[in-house]
Amino acid sequence: MPASLRFSRIALAASAALGPIGWAAPAMADEAAADAPSIIVYGRPDGYDLDKTPTATKTDTPLIDVPQTISVISREQMDDQGVTSLGEALRHVAGVSLGQGEGHRDQITLRGQNSTADFFVDGIRDDAQYYRPLYNVERIEVLKGANAMIFGRGGGGGVINRVSKAPEFDRTRAGLASSVDSFGAWSVAADLGAPLSDTIGTRLNATYEEFNNHRQDFGGHFLGITPTIGAHLGDATSLTLTYEYVEDRRITDRGVPSKDGLPLTGYDDTFFGSPRINHSEVTAHLVHGRIDHAFSDSLKANLSLQFADYDKFYGNVYASSAVSAANTVTLAGYDSSTDRQNLIGQGNLIWTGNTGSLGHTLLLGFEAGDQSTLADRHTATFPAGATVTLAERIVVPAVAFPTTPNSKSQSDVTFWSAYAQDQIDLGDLVKIVGGIRFDRFTISSTNLVSGFAGKRSDSKWSPRLGLILKPRENVSLYTSYAKSFLPQSGDQFAVLDATSAALAPEEFQNLEAGVKWDITDALAFTGAVYRLDRNNTRATDPITGNTVLSGKSRTEGVEFSLVGRVTDSLDVSLGYALQDGEIRATTTAAPAGRKLAQLPRHQASAWARYNFSKSFGLGLGVIHQSSQFATISNHVRLPAFTRIDAAAYYDLTRDVTLQLNVENLTDTDYFPAAHTDNNISTGRPLNAKLTLRVKF
């Protein structure tokens, strides 16, 4: 769609946004957080910097004292950038690469490790395959590097944690927001909070979105509702209960194929699928409860329980080959359904005190859970052939699906863990963070087509050790070592076969050294260098032909970030990552020396908001990514790109704000993500979004 037409559409649609005008709530202030100890929120109102998070250590620890790289995206930054999905927000974090996720799920690469399951909400695993919303999120935490001591299995390159908005105990809020963009996509959202008494607080967040973009036939909607209630059960005990309902319906879009080792150009809008077949339907229910109790000023405990039910179906037709010399493309397709239930419990006991001259923050904890998944898949056939001629709008031939699934499985995962960690203060200059976790993990599965039943149990120890030197109170120099593991059934714990049931888990080892400097109370710098080794990936023995564990890879890199308030008028979020990764042992998938997929050597992100007055401000952002390989075949390269975004903010009154975000200001043609060599996403062209917010 031409840019002039898109801007005319936003002008016509702006009146639609004037109805439910809105306001996105800022992070709860520190004094409110003190009244709601069940969820700790440390955001500075109207600022980007956050100085604490309990997620990295499961204790209330300043970020400067955590021996690990952590990037935090505050609610204020998300609102300023106008992002509404997790993927959009993570695009602004250097060192995070986004996968296409086959057009129906979040998928990330952290430090060269690709995952669809390393996602958490309030510190509890949320591993189903779907798109995660932000309407009920206070902040996003990107914790980089393997660390099973805190998170358990998986998380080889790191994890993403969403922190939910907290219930209100000391004020009433009513915020509404409405947005519309130049493609015709629109959304409405509400953030309501009120105390019901001196000891009971509530919060309700809800949103509805209609999707649209530059791609042919794309559309769908998202509905999310999250009520939360908090209660003070006496002076020392608090309880928080949260329920989230998610309904996501959208076209499944897997992008364009490649041609001559590069993404196909000139067909950025062309849909290589069928609007009748390519659709995704997700319904999810998440129920979370947490109770906190203080036995004394030095001894505290918390207990969390989460039940999640995910019901998902998706179907797709997609390009399965590169464009041929005759300008033809071969299609493939399948549909899949997944029914999953997770039940996860977690408990922590935290003691702070001294033994002689040593200060301690001691953590003892456990985690246990059960996961049940029923999944099936039908592979598409093309009775008249699957080859189509390249055109601006392709004609998809007849597609048929068998009544009997090609694959169907039932898998059950049970696990329990126990862990201990001590944060030791050796005077004012030296701190040590050391911990160990034991995991017992069992997966049982049945292939309901072949009848093969498999079972695998693993017991793993995962250590963590960090040394922190503090030459000044606001400066930390650290070094750390941590491990993680992943069963051979993969991060979605697919059905076991005879091979995967016999193989030990993959292992990840992260070595890291860095510096953290709180330049001011509101501005923080972080720099780190790391090496991440992955071992025990599968390979085929060249003599026997049996599958063995000999695969290895290594990622090395340097990361820098500067986040916070530079002056009273200027907030910034800057990041840069220099990274390199390669396969170090030959396997059937790739020989040694191949570069890892979706790992650009250079990544940089910059965002700044400057307030010229109390009522007017401007924002400017730049995202740069050097070229990267789509897969470990190294046959297709996604070109480097630089995208520029801008924003303007104007307070019409004290309670009403108008915001305009412009994405891809220079209308750059780029390819931000891929799933295979021939499923490559095309970046959105110039696009504007108008948002009106109101608060009461």
The CATH number of residue 48's host domain is 2.40.170.20
Q: Report the pLDDT value the prediction gives residue 545, as an integer from 0 to 100.
A: 55
Q: For residue 22, what pLDDT band results from cuts at 50, 70 and 90? A: very low
Range of the domain at 117: 3-454+465-695
Query: What is the rounded distance in angstroms from the CA atom of residue 281 to the CA atom of residue 275?
Result: 14
Scan for tokens 């996961």, then name that residue. 371
Scan for tokens 């520029």, then name that residue. 644
- Phi, psi for 634 (deg, rounded to 5): 60, 25
**Terminal CA-to-CA distance of the chain, rounded, Å?**
38
566 within a domain of the structure (yes/no): yes
CA angle 298, 299, 301 (to 5 degrees): 145
Query: What is the rounded distance in angstroms from the CA atom of residue 662 to the CA atom of residue 664?
Result: 7
459 within a domain of the structure (yes/no): no
pLDDT in tens, 152-188: 988 899 999 999 999 989 889 999 999 999 999 999 9
460 within a domain of the structure (yes/no): no
pLDDT in tens, 306-339: 999 999 999 999 999 999 999 999 999 999 999 9
Question: Mind giving me the DSSP string for 387-428?
Answer: EEE--SS--PPP-B--SS-SEEEEEEEEEEEEEEEEEEEETT
Query: What is the rounded distance in angstroms from the CA atom of residue 558 to the CA atom of residue 564?
Result: 21
pLDDT in tens, 196-218: 999 999 999 999 999 999 999 99
Residue 538 scores a pLDDT above 90:
no
681 within a domain of the structure (yes/no): yes
Q: Quick one: which of 470, 441, 599, 620 has its CA closest to 532?
A: 599
470 within a domain of the structure (yes/no): yes
Averaged pLDDT, 229-243: 96
Distances (CA, A) of 608 to 134, 245, 300, 571, 624: 21, 34, 39, 6, 15
Query: What is the rounded distance in angstroms from the CA atom of residue 247 to the CA atom of residue 267?
Result: 31
Q: Report the pLDDT value the prediction gives residue 49, as an integer from 0 to 100.
A: 66
Instruction: Write out the H or E segment, with its range, that includes residue 528.
Output: strand 523-540
Residue 544 scores a pLDDT above 60:
no
Residue 687 scores a pLDDT above 70:
yes
474 within a domain of the structure (yes/no): yes
Query: What is the rounded distance in angstroms from the CA atom of residue 400 to the CA atom of residue 576?
Result: 47
150 Cβ neighbours under 8 A, 6+ residues apart? 55, 56, 57, 58, 419, 435, 437, 464
Residue 517 scores a pLDDT above 90:
yes
CB atoms within 10 A of CB 211: 18
488 within a domain of the structure (yes/no): yes
Residue 125 scores a pLDDT above 50:
yes
Please tell me whether residue 150 adopts helix, strand or coil conformation: helix
Could you give the number of structural domains in the chain? 1
Q: Please state the pTM of the whole predicted model.
A: 0.90
302 within a domain of the structure (yes/no): yes
CA angle 579, 583, 585 (to 5 degrees): 150
Residue 540 scores a pLDDT above 70:
no
Residue 5 scores a pLDDT above 90:
no
Residue 291 scores a pLDDT above 60:
yes
